[in-house]
C-alpha cells in the first residue's frame, strides 16, 4: 500500500507501474490491504472496463467508481 502522499515523479510513470495501482484484485482483498486511514489504491472494476478508487477512511474501506469525462 503506498504512502498517503505520492511523489511528483511517480505521476510520469505508466499506470501499471504506479505503486498505488493494483490491477484486477477483488474487493475483499482490497480490504485486507488498506489498514490505516488515508491508505488508498486504484484497481480495475470487476466485470467492467472501469477503475475504482478504494480508500480507507473513518475505519471503513470505501470504493469510488472513477468515471471518464470523454
State the pLDDT at residue 49: 83
Residue 1 lies in a domain: no
Residue 37 lies in a domain: yes
Q: Give how far Cα 53 sits from Cα of 10, 15, 23, Å.
A: 17, 13, 11
State the pLDDT at residue 1: 62
Report how many domains make up the chain: 1
Residue 2 lies in a domain: no
State the pLDDT at residue 67: 84
Where do we find the cell 484486477?
Answer: 24
Q: List the CATH number of the domain containing 15.
A: 3.30.505.10
Low-confidence ranges of the chain (pLDDT < 70): 1-11, 70
Which range marks the domain in which residue 41 is found?
A: 8-66
Amino acid at each position: 500500500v503506498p504512502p498517503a502522499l505520492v511523489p511528483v515523479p511517480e505521476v510520469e510513470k505508466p499506470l501499471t507501474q504506479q505503486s498505488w495501482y493494483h490491477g484486477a484484485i477483488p474487493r475483499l482483498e482490497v480490504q485486507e490491504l488498506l489498514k490505516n486511514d488515508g491508505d488508498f489504491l486504484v484497481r480495475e472494476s470487476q466485470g467492467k472496463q472501469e477503475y475504482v478508487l478504494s480508500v480507507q477512511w473513518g475505519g471503513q474501506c470505501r470504493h469510488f467508481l472513477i468515471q471518464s469525462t470523454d
